A = this chain, B = another copy of it.
Protein backbone atom coordinates (compact mmCIF):
# COMPACT_ATOMS: atom_id res chain seq x y z
CA UNK A 1 0.00 0.00 0.00
CA UNK A 2 1.12 3.51 -0.76
CA UNK A 3 -0.90 5.89 1.37
CA UNK A 4 -0.95 9.66 1.45
CA UNK A 5 -1.27 11.76 4.59
CA UNK A 6 -2.25 15.42 4.50
CA UNK A 7 -2.43 17.90 7.37
CA UNK A 8 -3.00 21.61 7.94
CA UNK A 9 -1.21 23.94 10.29
CA UNK A 10 -1.01 27.56 11.46
CA UNK A 11 -3.75 30.19 11.40
CA UNK A 12 -6.80 29.23 9.36
CA UNK A 13 -7.80 30.96 6.12
CA UNK A 14 -10.78 30.93 3.78
CA UNK A 15 -8.74 29.06 1.15
CA UNK A 16 -6.78 26.44 3.09
CA UNK A 17 -9.48 23.84 2.43
CA UNK A 18 -9.36 24.61 -1.28
CA UNK A 19 -5.71 23.52 -1.12
CA UNK A 20 -6.77 20.43 0.79
CA UNK A 21 -9.38 19.77 -1.93
CA UNK A 22 -6.59 20.08 -4.52
CA UNK A 23 -4.41 17.54 -2.70
CA UNK A 24 -7.34 15.13 -2.44
CA UNK A 25 -8.35 15.58 -6.10
CA UNK A 26 -4.81 14.86 -7.26
CA UNK A 27 -4.51 11.82 -4.98
CA UNK A 28 -7.89 10.44 -6.11
CA UNK A 29 -7.12 10.85 -9.81
CA UNK A 30 -3.47 9.81 -9.76
CA UNK A 31 -4.07 6.10 -9.58
CA UNK A 32 -0.98 5.92 -7.38
CA UNK A 33 -2.44 6.40 -3.93
CA UNK A 34 -4.32 3.86 -1.84
CA UNK A 35 -5.56 5.44 1.37
CA UNK A 36 -5.91 9.22 1.56
CA UNK A 37 -5.62 10.13 5.21
CA UNK A 38 -5.98 13.45 6.99
CA UNK A 39 -4.22 14.08 10.30
CA UNK A 40 -6.36 16.06 12.76
CA UNK A 41 -4.63 19.10 14.27
CA UNK A 42 -1.54 19.08 12.10
CA UNK A 43 1.64 17.35 13.16
CA UNK A 44 0.11 16.78 16.61
CA UNK A 45 -2.45 14.55 14.93
CA UNK A 46 0.41 12.59 13.38
CA UNK A 47 1.93 11.89 16.79
CA UNK A 48 -1.52 10.99 18.13
CA UNK A 49 -2.26 8.85 15.04
CA UNK A 50 -5.52 10.77 14.86
CA UNK A 51 -6.30 10.13 11.21
CA UNK A 52 -9.44 10.60 9.14
CA UNK A 53 -10.05 8.39 6.11
CA UNK A 54 -10.80 11.05 3.53
CA UNK A 55 -12.11 8.58 0.97
CA UNK A 56 -14.93 8.01 3.48
CA UNK A 57 -15.58 11.69 4.20
CA UNK A 58 -15.12 13.24 0.77
CA UNK A 59 -16.87 11.02 -1.73
CA UNK A 60 -17.72 13.17 -4.72
CA UNK A 61 -16.65 16.14 -6.78
CA UNK A 62 -19.59 18.02 -5.25
CA UNK A 63 -18.21 17.36 -1.78
CA UNK A 64 -14.78 18.53 -2.93
CA UNK A 65 -16.42 21.80 -3.99
CA UNK A 66 -18.14 22.11 -0.62
CA UNK A 67 -14.81 21.48 1.10
CA UNK A 68 -13.16 24.14 -1.05
CA UNK A 69 -15.74 26.76 0.05
CA UNK A 70 -15.51 25.86 3.74
CA UNK A 71 -13.38 28.36 5.65
CA UNK A 72 -10.80 27.45 8.32
CA UNK A 73 -8.77 24.25 8.45
CA UNK A 74 -11.24 21.37 8.04
CA UNK A 75 -8.60 19.00 9.46
CA UNK A 76 -7.91 21.31 12.39
CA UNK A 77 -4.64 23.03 13.03
CA UNK A 78 -1.84 23.37 15.54
CA UNK A 79 1.03 25.64 16.39
CA UNK A 80 3.77 23.14 17.03
CA UNK A 81 7.40 23.34 16.03
CA UNK A 82 9.57 20.25 15.77
CA UNK A 83 12.86 20.32 17.65
CA UNK A 84 16.13 20.83 15.85
CA UNK A 85 17.41 17.71 14.19
CA UNK A 86 20.79 18.01 15.91
CA UNK A 87 19.20 18.23 19.33
CA UNK A 88 16.55 15.54 19.26
CA UNK A 89 16.01 12.86 16.66
CA UNK A 90 13.43 10.93 18.66
CA UNK A 91 10.46 12.95 17.37
CA UNK A 92 11.47 12.27 13.79
CA UNK A 93 11.98 8.59 14.44
CA UNK A 94 8.53 8.48 15.98
CA UNK A 95 6.97 10.13 12.94
CA UNK A 96 8.69 7.75 10.54
CA UNK A 97 7.58 4.77 12.63
CA UNK A 98 3.99 6.01 12.45
CA UNK A 99 4.35 6.49 8.69
CA UNK A 100 5.66 2.93 8.37
CA UNK A 101 2.84 1.56 10.50
CA UNK A 102 0.21 3.27 8.33
CA UNK A 103 2.15 2.68 5.10
CA UNK A 104 2.35 6.40 4.42
CA UNK A 105 4.61 7.21 1.48
CA UNK A 106 3.49 10.79 0.90
CA UNK A 107 3.07 13.53 3.45
CA UNK A 108 1.68 16.92 2.40
CA UNK A 109 1.78 19.70 4.97
CA UNK A 110 -0.32 22.78 4.22
CA UNK A 111 0.83 25.80 6.19
CA UNK A 112 3.00 28.89 6.59
CA UNK A 113 6.69 29.35 7.31
CA UNK A 114 6.59 27.42 10.60
CA UNK A 115 4.96 24.50 8.81
CA UNK A 116 7.61 24.65 6.09
CA UNK A 117 10.16 24.30 8.89
CA UNK A 118 8.49 20.99 9.73
CA UNK A 119 8.68 19.89 6.09
CA UNK A 120 12.32 20.93 5.97
CA UNK A 121 13.34 19.09 9.14
CA UNK A 122 11.38 15.94 8.41
CA UNK A 123 12.78 15.73 4.87
CA UNK A 124 16.28 16.29 6.21
CA UNK A 125 15.83 13.53 8.77
CA UNK A 126 14.67 11.06 6.11
CA UNK A 127 17.61 12.00 3.87
CA UNK A 128 20.05 11.57 6.75
CA UNK A 129 18.71 8.09 7.36
CA UNK A 130 18.78 7.12 3.71
CA UNK A 131 14.98 6.76 3.63
CA UNK A 132 14.07 7.02 -0.05
CA UNK A 133 10.43 5.96 -0.05
CA UNK A 134 8.83 8.72 2.01
CA UNK A 135 8.17 12.04 0.31
CA UNK A 136 7.47 15.17 2.32
CA UNK A 137 6.14 18.22 0.51
CA UNK A 138 4.69 21.55 1.60
CA UNK A 139 1.76 23.56 0.25
CA UNK A 140 1.68 27.25 1.11
CA UNK A 141 -1.00 28.98 3.16
CA UNK A 142 -1.25 32.30 4.89
CA UNK A 143 -3.48 35.33 4.68
CA UNK A 144 -0.43 37.41 5.61
CA UNK A 145 1.15 36.81 2.17
CA UNK A 146 4.57 36.77 3.81
CA UNK A 147 6.04 33.56 2.38
CA UNK A 148 9.26 33.84 0.37
CA UNK A 149 9.68 32.13 -2.98
CA UNK A 150 6.05 32.26 -4.11
CA UNK A 151 4.56 35.30 -5.84
CA UNK A 152 1.71 35.28 -3.33
CA UNK A 153 0.07 32.92 -0.85
CA UNK A 154 -3.21 30.98 -0.95
CA UNK A 155 -5.70 32.63 1.37
CA UNK A 156 -4.27 36.10 0.87
CA UNK A 157 -6.37 36.95 -2.19
CA UNK A 158 -9.62 36.06 -0.43
CA UNK A 159 -8.70 38.01 2.69
CA UNK A 160 -7.66 40.94 0.47
CA UNK A 161 -11.00 40.78 -1.37
CA UNK A 162 -12.89 40.76 1.93
CA UNK A 163 -10.82 43.74 3.11
CA UNK A 164 -11.27 45.73 -0.11
CA UNK A 165 -15.03 45.10 -0.22
CA UNK A 166 -15.40 45.83 3.48
CA UNK A 167 -13.47 49.10 3.28
CA UNK A 168 -15.66 50.17 0.39
CA UNK A 169 -18.77 49.32 2.45
CA UNK A 170 -17.46 51.02 5.58
CA UNK A 171 -16.67 54.07 3.49
CA UNK A 172 -20.27 54.14 2.21
CA UNK A 173 -21.52 53.82 5.79
CA UNK A 174 -19.29 56.60 7.13
CA UNK A 175 -20.20 58.87 4.23
CA UNK A 176 -23.86 59.28 5.24
CA UNK A 177 -23.40 61.92 7.94
CA UNK A 178 -22.21 65.45 7.27
CA UNK A 179 -20.19 65.72 10.47
CA UNK A 180 -16.45 65.34 10.94
CA UNK A 181 -15.68 61.78 11.97
CA UNK A 182 -12.66 59.50 11.91
CA UNK A 183 -12.94 55.72 11.54
CA UNK A 184 -9.80 53.69 12.17
CA UNK A 185 -9.85 50.15 10.81
CA UNK A 186 -7.25 47.75 12.14
CA UNK A 187 -6.18 45.00 9.75
CA UNK A 188 -4.23 41.82 10.55
CA UNK A 189 -0.47 41.74 10.01
CA UNK A 190 2.14 41.89 12.78
CA UNK A 191 5.17 42.12 10.52
CA UNK A 192 3.88 42.41 6.96
CA UNK A 193 1.42 45.03 5.70
CA UNK A 194 0.07 43.22 2.64
CA UNK A 195 -3.47 42.91 3.99
CA UNK A 196 -3.61 46.54 5.09
CA UNK A 197 -2.39 47.55 1.64
CA UNK A 198 -5.36 45.70 0.13
CA UNK A 199 -7.65 48.36 1.63
CA UNK A 200 -6.50 50.62 -1.22
CA UNK A 201 -8.38 48.35 -3.65
CA UNK A 202 -11.60 49.86 -2.22
CA UNK A 203 -10.84 52.81 -4.52
CA UNK A 204 -10.85 50.75 -7.72
CA UNK A 205 -14.43 51.67 -8.69
CA UNK A 206 -14.02 55.39 -8.15
CA UNK A 207 -15.02 55.56 -4.49
CA UNK A 208 -12.64 57.34 -2.11
CA UNK A 209 -11.66 54.29 -0.02
CA UNK A 210 -9.32 54.82 2.92
CA UNK A 211 -7.97 58.37 3.27
CA UNK A 212 -4.80 57.16 4.96
CA UNK A 213 -3.03 53.77 4.99
CA UNK A 214 -0.29 52.85 7.45
CA UNK A 215 1.65 49.61 7.00
CA UNK A 216 3.86 48.05 9.63
CA UNK A 217 6.90 48.20 7.33
CA UNK A 218 7.53 51.89 8.08
CA UNK A 219 8.05 53.51 11.49
CA UNK A 220 4.81 54.96 12.84
CA UNK A 221 4.97 58.48 14.23
CA UNK A 222 1.92 59.38 16.33
CA UNK A 223 2.42 63.14 15.88
CA UNK A 224 2.69 62.79 12.15
CA UNK A 225 -0.44 60.60 12.23
CA UNK A 226 -2.44 63.31 14.02
CA UNK A 227 -1.20 65.88 11.47
CA UNK A 228 -2.24 63.58 8.60
CA UNK A 229 -5.71 63.11 10.08
CA UNK A 230 -6.16 66.84 10.72
CA UNK A 231 -5.21 67.61 7.12
CA UNK A 232 -7.73 65.08 5.77
CA UNK A 233 -10.46 66.40 8.09
CA UNK A 234 -10.04 69.82 6.55
CA UNK A 235 -10.87 68.40 3.14
CA UNK A 236 -13.62 65.88 3.96
CA UNK A 237 -16.12 64.89 6.66
CA UNK A 238 -15.56 61.16 6.91
CA UNK A 239 -11.94 60.06 7.24
CA UNK A 240 -11.40 56.31 7.08
CA UNK A 241 -7.93 55.11 8.12
CA UNK A 242 -6.41 51.66 7.47
CA UNK A 243 -3.75 50.54 9.90
CA UNK A 244 -1.76 47.32 10.34
CA UNK A 245 -2.07 45.73 13.77
CA UNK A 246 1.72 45.60 13.91
CA UNK A 247 2.60 49.30 13.48
CA UNK A 248 5.66 50.24 15.54
CA UNK A 249 7.45 53.41 16.57
CA UNK A 250 10.91 54.13 15.13
CA UNK A 251 12.32 52.34 18.18
CA UNK A 252 10.49 49.19 17.18
CA UNK A 253 7.94 49.30 20.01
CA UNK A 254 4.41 48.25 19.02
CA UNK A 255 2.12 51.30 19.17
CA UNK A 256 -0.39 49.22 21.09
CA UNK A 257 2.18 48.38 23.78
CA UNK A 258 3.66 51.84 23.89
CA UNK A 259 0.49 53.71 24.68
CA UNK A 260 -1.51 51.36 26.80
CA UNK A 261 1.05 49.89 29.16
CA UNK A 262 -0.42 51.70 32.14
CA UNK A 263 -4.06 50.99 31.47
CA UNK A 264 -5.99 49.10 34.10
CA UNK A 265 -9.71 48.85 34.76
CA UNK A 266 -11.31 48.98 38.18
CA UNK A 267 -10.87 45.25 38.60
CA UNK A 268 -7.17 45.85 38.31
CA UNK A 269 -6.60 43.95 35.08
CA UNK A 270 -4.83 45.65 32.26
CA UNK A 271 -6.52 46.38 28.98
CA UNK A 272 -5.17 44.65 25.94
CA UNK A 273 -6.08 46.83 23.00
CA UNK A 274 -5.09 46.77 19.43
CA UNK A 275 -3.38 49.55 17.53
CA UNK A 276 -6.76 50.77 16.23
CA UNK A 277 -8.15 51.35 19.71
CA UNK A 278 -4.99 53.15 20.77
CA UNK A 279 -5.20 55.47 17.75
CA UNK A 280 -8.92 56.00 18.40
CA UNK A 281 -8.11 57.29 21.89
CA UNK A 282 -5.30 59.42 20.50
CA UNK A 283 -7.61 61.10 17.98
CA UNK A 284 -10.23 61.68 20.66
CA UNK A 285 -7.65 63.34 22.89
CA UNK A 286 -5.71 65.34 20.33
CA UNK A 287 -8.44 66.29 17.85
CA UNK A 288 -11.63 65.75 19.81
CA UNK A 289 -13.88 64.87 16.86
CA UNK A 290 -16.15 61.85 16.66
CA UNK A 291 -13.96 58.77 16.29
CA UNK A 292 -14.38 55.01 16.31
CA UNK A 293 -12.16 52.03 15.70
CA UNK A 294 -13.00 48.76 14.02
CA UNK A 295 -11.07 45.48 14.10
CA UNK A 296 -11.64 43.23 11.12
CA UNK A 297 -10.59 40.44 13.45
CA UNK A 298 -11.26 36.80 12.53
CA UNK A 299 -13.77 37.81 9.85
CA UNK A 300 -10.99 38.82 7.45
CA UNK A 301 -9.54 35.32 7.45
CA UNK A 302 -12.69 33.18 7.68
CA UNK A 303 -15.15 34.97 5.36
CA UNK A 304 -15.78 31.99 3.12
CA UNK A 305 -18.85 33.76 1.74
CA UNK A 306 -16.73 36.32 -0.13
CA UNK A 307 -13.66 34.62 -1.51
CA UNK A 308 -11.59 35.50 -4.55
CA UNK A 309 -12.16 33.10 -7.44
CA UNK A 310 -8.53 33.61 -8.45
CA UNK A 311 -7.42 32.66 -4.96
CA UNK A 312 -9.62 29.59 -4.60
CA UNK A 313 -8.67 28.28 -8.04
CA UNK A 314 -4.97 28.82 -7.37
CA UNK A 315 -5.24 27.32 -3.89
CA UNK A 316 -6.63 24.14 -5.43
CA UNK A 317 -3.91 24.16 -8.10
CA UNK A 318 -1.22 24.53 -5.43
CA UNK A 319 -2.66 21.59 -3.51
CA UNK A 320 -2.58 19.54 -6.71
CA UNK A 321 0.97 20.70 -7.42
CA UNK A 322 2.15 19.71 -3.95
CA UNK A 323 0.56 16.29 -4.24
CA UNK A 324 2.03 15.76 -7.71
CA UNK A 325 5.50 16.70 -6.44
CA UNK A 326 5.27 14.04 -3.75
CA UNK A 327 4.00 11.45 -6.23
CA UNK A 328 6.91 12.37 -8.50
CA UNK A 329 9.30 11.58 -5.68
CA UNK A 330 10.23 15.09 -4.67
CA UNK A 331 11.16 15.99 -1.14
CA UNK A 332 11.71 19.18 0.83
CA UNK A 333 9.89 21.37 -1.70
CA UNK A 334 6.89 23.69 -1.44
CA UNK A 335 4.38 24.31 -4.23
CA UNK A 336 4.61 27.91 -5.42
CA UNK A 337 3.20 30.41 -7.91
CA UNK A 338 5.33 32.33 -10.38
CA UNK A 339 3.72 35.41 -11.88
CA UNK A 340 4.25 35.85 -15.59
CA UNK A 341 2.36 39.11 -16.03
CA UNK A 342 0.06 41.47 -14.13
CA UNK A 343 -2.40 42.43 -16.86
CA UNK A 344 -3.55 40.14 -18.30
CA UNK A 345 -2.72 38.11 -15.23
CA UNK A 346 -0.74 34.98 -16.01
CA UNK A 347 0.83 32.58 -13.56
CA UNK A 348 2.59 29.23 -13.47
CA UNK A 349 2.73 26.62 -10.76
CA UNK A 350 6.04 25.14 -9.69
CA UNK A 351 7.88 23.97 -6.62
CA UNK A 352 10.76 25.55 -4.74
CA UNK A 353 13.17 24.26 -2.08
CA UNK A 354 11.41 24.58 1.24
CA UNK A 355 14.63 26.02 2.73
CA UNK A 356 13.89 29.24 0.86
CA UNK A 357 10.65 29.60 2.74
CA UNK A 358 11.00 28.24 6.26
CA UNK A 359 11.43 30.76 9.05
CA UNK A 360 11.62 33.73 6.71
CA UNK A 361 9.17 36.56 6.01
CA UNK A 362 8.43 38.57 2.89
CA UNK A 363 7.46 42.13 3.69
CA UNK A 364 5.99 44.85 1.48
CA UNK A 365 8.92 46.47 -0.40
CA UNK A 366 9.51 49.97 0.95
CA UNK A 367 9.42 51.40 -2.59
CA UNK A 368 5.75 50.30 -2.78
CA UNK A 369 4.87 52.66 0.08
CA UNK A 370 4.55 56.39 -0.63
CA UNK A 371 7.13 58.83 0.71
CA UNK A 372 4.87 60.20 3.42
CA UNK A 373 4.40 56.64 4.70
CA UNK A 374 0.63 57.03 4.65
CA UNK A 375 -0.40 55.33 1.41
CA UNK A 376 0.67 52.74 -1.17
CA UNK A 377 1.93 53.12 -4.72
CA UNK A 378 0.51 52.12 -8.09
CA UNK A 379 3.09 49.28 -8.29
CA UNK A 380 1.58 47.70 -5.20
CA UNK A 381 -1.93 48.04 -6.63
CA UNK A 382 -0.83 46.42 -9.90
CA UNK A 383 0.51 43.51 -7.87
CA UNK A 384 -2.68 43.19 -5.80
CA UNK A 385 -5.36 43.65 -8.47
CA UNK A 386 -5.40 40.17 -10.06
CA UNK A 387 -5.43 38.45 -6.69
CA UNK A 388 -8.94 39.56 -5.70
CA UNK A 389 -10.53 39.01 -9.08
CA UNK A 390 -13.55 36.84 -9.71
CA UNK A 391 -16.34 35.59 -7.50
CA UNK A 392 -17.17 32.05 -6.47
CA UNK A 393 -20.71 30.66 -6.66
CA UNK A 394 -21.02 29.84 -3.00
CA UNK A 395 -23.56 27.12 -2.20
CA UNK A 396 -26.04 28.23 0.45
CA UNK A 397 -28.44 26.20 2.56
CA UNK A 398 -31.03 27.75 4.86
CA UNK A 399 -29.72 31.20 4.05
CA UNK A 400 -26.11 30.60 5.08
CA UNK A 401 -23.11 29.17 3.21
CA UNK A 402 -22.92 25.40 3.45
CA UNK A 403 -19.78 23.88 4.94
CA UNK A 404 -18.27 20.42 4.81
CA UNK A 405 -17.38 19.37 8.34
CA UNK A 406 -14.82 16.55 8.54
CA UNK A 407 -14.76 15.98 12.31
**A118 sits at the interface (CB 8 A):** no
Other-chain contact of A172, B70, B166, B177, B262 (Cβ < 8 Å): B70
Contacts of A207 in B (CB 8 A): 403, 405
Nearest-Cβ distance from residue A308 to partner chain B, whole angstroms: 7
A306, B308: Cβ atoms closer than 8 Å: no
Contacts of A299 in B (CB 8 A): 166, 169-170, 294, 296, 299
A403, B172: Cβ atoms closer than 8 Å: yes
Contacts of A204 in B (CB 8 A): 397-400
Contacts of A177 in B (CB 8 A): 41, 76-79
B72, A173: Cβ atoms closer than 8 Å: yes
A12 to B165, CA, bound (A): 17
A182 to B405, CA, bound (A): 21
B165, A400: Cβ atoms closer than 8 Å: yes
Q: Which A257-316 residues sit within 8 Å CB-CB of chain B? A: 259-267, 269, 271, 273, 277, 281-282, 284-285, 292, 294-299, 301-306, 308
Instruction: Select the stretch in A130-138, A332-340, A354-362, A384-392 that faces chain B.
Output: A384-392
- Residues on A lying within 8 angstroms of B by beta carbon are 8, 12, 41, 44, 70-73, 76-79, 161, 164-166, 168-170, 172-178, 183, 201-202, 204-207, 259-267, 269, 271, 273, 277, 281-282, 284-285, 292, 294-299, 301-306, 308, 385, 388-391, 394, 396-403, 405
Apart from A183-B298, A263-B271: 20 A-B pairs, beta carbons within 8 A:
A12-B176, A44-B178, A72-B176, A164-B400, A165-B400, A165-B401, A169-B303, A169-B304, A169-B305, A204-B397, A205-B403, A259-B267, A267-B281, A269-B281, A269-B284, A271-B273, A271-B277, A295-B295, A305-B306, A385-B399
Smallest CB-CB A-B distances: 7 pairs: A262-B266, A263-B265, A388-B399, A204-B398, A72-B172, A173-B302, A77-B176
